[in-house]
């Protein structure tokens, strides 16, 4: 059995931190995952796919978009 997977996580700083911290309230990071899953046995399945991980920094020149490939082998107890 195969299935498609997608999820999007948005993280927000709820507060401004006191100076000299550069962290301000608002958008912090976003994680977008798209992949597939496959059931190997009744209690084991594999999920794999692409993860885009964007972090918002105080200086826009330091914003970071990382491209990752993630694979999970899951055992149900």
Domain borders along the chain are 2-75
pLDDT score of 13: 81
pLDDT score of 14: 79
- Pick the closest to residue 31 from 9, 60, 61 (CA basis): 9
Q: What is the pTM of this model?
A: 0.76
- The two beta strands, 2-13 and 44-55, are unpaired
Compute the average pLDDT of residues 36-50. 97
Q: Are 5 and 34 contacting, i.e. CB atoms less than 8 angstroms apart?
A: yes
**Residue 26: left if φ>0, alpha if ψ -120 to 50, beta else—which one?**
left
Residue 36 is classified by DSSP as E
């Amino acid at each position: 059995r195969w299935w498609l997977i997608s999820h999007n996580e948005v993280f927000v700083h709820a507060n401004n931190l006191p100076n000299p911290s550069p962290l301000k309230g608002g958008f912090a990071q976003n994680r977008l995952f798209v992949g597939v899953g496959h059931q190997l046995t009744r209690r084991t399945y594999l999920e794999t796919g692409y993860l885009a991980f964007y972090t918002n920094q105080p200086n826009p020149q330091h914003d970071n978009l990382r491209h990752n490939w993630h694979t999970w082998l899951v055992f149900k107890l």
